[in-house]
């Protein structure tokens, strides 16, 4: 009797759960495929970079495979006016445009009013919250850089560390400042040498220039170099591999690219941001405004895996994990770069 009652109860419970799930799903106002036409804009040379762009693509691919969202990719042609390029995409019927980088802020500022029906999302760029159709998503890069800075400070064989950024812009200065703070937290007397690949957008895709800068820094006595230069960062990792030195990857887990010489990687979950942006827009949950994502939101971390586990001691990992907790709790204030 009890067995029959239990079976009946479980059946009723299963039906209730199924009904609840169906109700919740039906409450999401998903758009018809022909009404939802998202577009993702990459830089002209960004076919793949083992970093930021590849992470974006993973997020978009996941949205397509799991949710069935189709999207178009556009690469900015070299020499093409950015504002007119984005305007053309809007004119072609894109309902949501996702653009990566601070260089898209000014163009979208000028286009948002002209295309109120288009939702614009800028990743790693801050558009003032003046429009109901613009969203900015930014990472607290200084927090993630602080963690890999600690690793560099503890593990550098010399009292010098290096930083190589793409362009000399506030975004990269924020990386550099966080990295230096973390290194000094671990080793107060450490010094840092900083270089940038260039002063134009091509700086993000010039690994040969980054490699030359890295070799210069290593020859100057730098023990570990952190590369925050997009696709150019690979050149820094190559230099470390060539010279038997240590480097730190960026954006994605790059430890496996050159096992034994990549000390760690600062991981930015750009894939999750792109996935969430696409699915939220598709389901009607997209919201305008500015969002900041950091360690608390699991958007930033450092990577330890089979490729670098022998390069970092357990004591260092424990110290960095403690620092993560302290940053989340506000016990370690990580300074944000300000150009003013």
Q: How far is CA 80 from CA 76, 77, 85, 265, 292, in A?
A: 7, 5, 7, 33, 30
Residue 270 has pLDDT above 60, yes or no: yes
**Do 66 and 159 have their domain in common?**
no
Q: How confident is the model at residue 333 (pLDDT cuts 50, 70, 90)?
A: very high
Same domain for 319 and 205, yes or no, is yes
- b/e code 197-208 from CB counts within 10 Å (16+ = b): bbeebbbbbbbe
| Residue 8 resides in a domain | no
Is 70 exceeded by the pLDDT of residue 3? no
Q: Is residue 76 part of a domain?
A: yes
Same domain, 249 and 158: yes
Is pLDDT larger for residue 337 or for residue 24?
Answer: 337
Q: Does 41 share its domain with 76?
A: yes
Closest CA to 85 of 111, 49, 113: 111
Q: What is the pTM of this model?
A: 0.84
Is the C-alpha dihedral spanning 152, 158, 161, 162 positive or negative? Answer: negative
Q: Average pLDDT for residues 96-112, to the nearest whole number?
A: 94
Taking the C-alpha atoms of residue 91 and residue 248, their distance in angstroms, rounded to an integer, is 42
pLDDT per residue as tens digits for the range 225-247: 999 998 899 999 999 999 999 99
Number of domains in the chain: 2
Q: Are 172 and 307 in the same domain? A: yes
* Same-domain status, 240 and 153: yes
Q: What is the mean pLDDT of residues 274-280?
A: 95
Residues 164 and 276 in one domain: no
Label residue 303 exposed, middle or buried (CB < 10 Å: 0-12, 13-18, 19+): buried
Residue 44 forms part of a structural domain: yes
Nearest Cα residue to 35 out of 114, 117, 131, 109: 117
Residues 6+ apart with CB under 8 A from 169: 102
pLDDT at position 5: 41
Kindly state whether residues 241 and 320 are assigned to the same domain: yes
Question: What CATH number is attached to the domain comprising 258?
Answer: 3.40.50.2300
Determine, yes or no, domain membership for 12: no
**230 lies in the same domain as 100:** no
Residue 221 lies in a domain: yes
- 252 with 147, same domain? yes
> Residue 101: which pLDDT band, with cuts at 50, 70 and 90?
confident
pLDDT over 90 at 123, yes or no: yes
Domain that holds residue 56: 33-140+271-293
Is residue 338 in some structural domain?
no
Note the pLDDT tens digit of each residue in 150-188: 999 999 999 999 999 999 999 999 999 999 999 999 999
195 part of a folded domain: yes
Q: How far apart are CA 205 and CA 232, in angstroms?
A: 5
> Is there a single domain that holds both residue 226 and residue 212?
yes
Whether 185 and 317 share a structural domain: yes
80 found inside a domain? yes
pLDDT at 47: 58
Residue 22 pLDDT grade (very low, low, confident, very high; cuts 50, 70, 90): very low
């Amino acid at each position: 009797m009890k067995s029959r009652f239990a079976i009946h109860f479980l059946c009723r419970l299963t039906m209730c759960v199924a009904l609840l799930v169906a109700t919740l799903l039906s409450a999401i106002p998903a758009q018809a495929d022909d009404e939802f036409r998202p577009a993702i804009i990459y830089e002209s040379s960004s076919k793949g970079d083992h970093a930021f762009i590849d992470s974006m693509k993973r997020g978009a691919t996941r949205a397509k495979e799991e949710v069935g969202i189709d999207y178009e990719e556009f690469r900015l042609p070299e020499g093409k006016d950015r504002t007119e390029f984005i305007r053309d995409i809007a004119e072609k019927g894109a309902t949501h445009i996702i653009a990566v980088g601070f260089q898209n802020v000014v163009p979208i500022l000028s286009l948002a009013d002209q295309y109120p029906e288009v939702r614009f999302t800028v990743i790693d760029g801050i558009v003032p919250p003046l429009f109901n159709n613009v969203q900015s998503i930014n990472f607290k890069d200084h927090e993630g850089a602080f963690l890999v800075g600690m690793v560099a400070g503890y593990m550098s064989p010399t009292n010098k560390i290096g930083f190589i950024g793409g362009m000399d812009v506030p975004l990269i200065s924020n990386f550099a400042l966080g990295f230096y703070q973390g290194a000094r937290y671990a080793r107060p007397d450490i010094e840092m040498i900083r270089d940038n690949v260039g002063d134009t957008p091509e700086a993000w895709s010039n690994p040969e220039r980054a490699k030359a800068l890295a070799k210069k820094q290593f020859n100057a006595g730098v023990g570990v170099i952190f590369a925050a230069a997009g696709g150019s960062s690979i050149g820094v990792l190559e230099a470390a591999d060539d010279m038997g030195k240590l480097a730190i990857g960026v954006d994605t887990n790059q430890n496996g690219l050159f096992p034994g010489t990549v000390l760690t990687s600062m991981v930015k979950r750009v894939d999750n941001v792109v996935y969430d942006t696409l699915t939220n827009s598709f389901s009607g949950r997209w919201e305008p405004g500015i969002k900041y994502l950091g360690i608390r939101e699991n958007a930033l971390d450092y990577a330890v895996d089979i490729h670098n586990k022998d390069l970092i001691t357990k004591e260092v990992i424990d110290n960095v994990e403690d620092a993560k907790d302290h940053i989340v709790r506000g016990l370690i204030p990580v300074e944000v770069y300000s150009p003013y």
